Amino acid sequence: MKDNSVVMIKEYQSVCCVKGMQGYGYLDSRNFAKLESFILKNSRSDADNNVLELMKITYASQVGKVITARNFVGTINFGSHTSLEILPKIYSPNSDTLTDEKVKEIFFKMLLSVKNMPFKKISESNINVQKNNIWEIFIKIFIDRVTILVKQGLKSGYLTCCDNEAYFKGKLQIREHLRENFTDEKHFIEYDVFALNRPENKIIKSTLLFLQKYNCCSQNLKNIVQLLKFFSDVSPSKNYEDDFLKCRFERGMTGYADVLNICRAFLGGNSFNVFAGDNNLSALLFPMELLFESYIAKILKKSFMGTEYEISVQEQGVYLFDTPQKFRLRPDIVIKHNNSMVVLDTKWKLLTSSGGKKNGISQQDIYQMYAYAKRYSAKQVILLYPYSDNCEQQCIEYHTDVESVCVKVMFVDLTKEDDIVDEVVAHVKNILI
């Protein structure tokens, strides 16, 4: 079995189908066409799923058609021993030593911070995140979770069956009985069978078969084949969504919830699997805005834990207008202390000095922060950006003289271990004295 080959790019980098083009990832023409079709299939005009946020199809001189990643990261598997990995674009003051493996490690730490993330059990999977490709890591997590279920014993359930039987049991279906057995001494009956063939197990089997088809690595494939033996009495799901609706988590089935969340991600229909795959490829893609926001919020909550500071995430109790109450405000983070507060908003954008005096800061974002300052009566509002070595200004403040509004721009270095937000925490504490 040939293991997957991986094409790796970063946000806003491109792939083409011309070999050896400097600065471009390479996909053969077949997989390039699959990717193009996938993008066009998911091209919709709604705000929640805009093709321009995923990837952009353009033409480049001397290269031809190219596909450029936007702000979604993760993995796309082509089912042909090839996968495309899109990693976050991360900088640090020591960017020269920042390896792709380190970036991948940071990416998985960010994944763990997202509420209801289906791949929460990364640390339990004994996976070397740095050395394994993303697709195989996700599969390994799933395999590990299903293995636990198998060891605990797959759950059976009562299933209603209808059939024409020689022996009577259950409940006679009169209409069907008269139609089927006018001259035959049989009974058309409805009865319950206690069996493994319940919706939860059907979905899991379908996911195992799905992953088997998508050419996972030899070790993962071996494990999948072994697991499928325990599902020999289970039929694959014929309708995923219908079976998901039928899932019931009775006592002793808590482990099933985690596994089925991962099934949703692989089979489609999960909020994190924003873009739909098809028979040609499968995609697990995550919006970087969400990852960055969740990650910073998690670290800040941990930093203020056990202190007199009150921190809330995605607060929704304030409106822009009082009469009528319209246009609900939803800042990422609010920190309160002694009847004073600081409001913080995270922005996944690399600021640059080439953006002129504004450094690439959106005017709309500043308007938003001004609204937070006024409606929350905040002592200060803070915009948090990832560190960028292209932005010379590492301390940016905007002040109004009359209304005493201060918007401060701060940067966080995601390559730091435990002190990513230390500077932010110290600043907030100083403000809220």
Is residue 176 predicted with pLDDT exceeding 70? no
| pLDDT (0 to 100) of residue 185 | 63
pTM, entire model:
0.82
* 8 A C-beta contact, residue 212 and residue 136: no
* Type of residue at 225: V
Mean pLDDT of 309-322: 84
- Assign 84 to helix, strand or coil: strand
How far apart CA 258 and CA 321 sit, in angstroms, is 41
User: How much is the pLDDT for 180?
Assistant: 61
Of residues 156 and 44, more confidence is placed in 156
Q: Is pLDDT at 19 greater than 70 in this prediction?
A: yes
The answer to whether the CB of 224 falls within 8 A of the CB of 211 is: yes
pLDDT at residue number 384: 94
Distance between CA atoms of 106 and 353, rounded to whole angstroms?
A: 25
> Is-contact 225 234, C-beta < 8 A?
no
The pLDDT score that the predictor gives to residue 84 is 93
pLDDT digits (tens, 9 = 90+) for 362-382: 899 999 999 989 988 889 999
Q: How confident is the model at residue 177 (pLDDT cuts 50, 70, 90)?
A: low
Residue where the block lists tokens 């790019």:
9
Confidence tier at 4 by pLDDT (50, 70, 90): low
Alpha helices in 58-133 (DSSP H): 100-112
**292-315 residue pLDDT tens:** 999 999 999 999 999 999 999 987
Residues 6+ apart with CB under 8 A from 428: 309, 335, 342, 344, 382
84 token code pair = 């495309």
Run of H or E including 302: helix 288-304
Q: Does the pLDDT value for residue 274 go beyond 50?
A: no
Q: For the chain, what are the domain ranges?
A: 118-150+196-271, 157-193, 306-431
CA–CA distance, 205 with 61 (Å, rounded to integer): 47
For 42-73, what is each residue's pLDDT tens digit? Answer: 765 454 444 446 789 999 988 999 999 988 89
The pLDDT value given to residue 310: 92
Could you tell me which of 73, 208, 79 has the C-alpha nearest to residue 139? 208
What's the mean per-residue pLDDT of the chain?
82
Segment 419-433, tens digit of pLDDT: 899 999 999 999 988
Percent with pLDDT over 90 in the chain: 34
Is the per-residue pLDDT at 75 higher than 70?
A: yes
* Contact (Cβ atoms closer than 8 angstroms) between residue 303 and residue 343: no
What's the CATH code, domain 306-431? 3.40.1350
Please name the residue that has the structure tokens 């763990």. Answer: 112
Q: What backbone torsions phi and psi does residue 411 show, to the nearest 5 degrees?
A: -125, 145
Q: Please answer whether residues 314 and 346 qualify as being in contact, where contact means their C-beta atoms are separated by less than 8 angstroms.
A: no
Residues 203-214 pLDDT 10s: 999 999 988 887
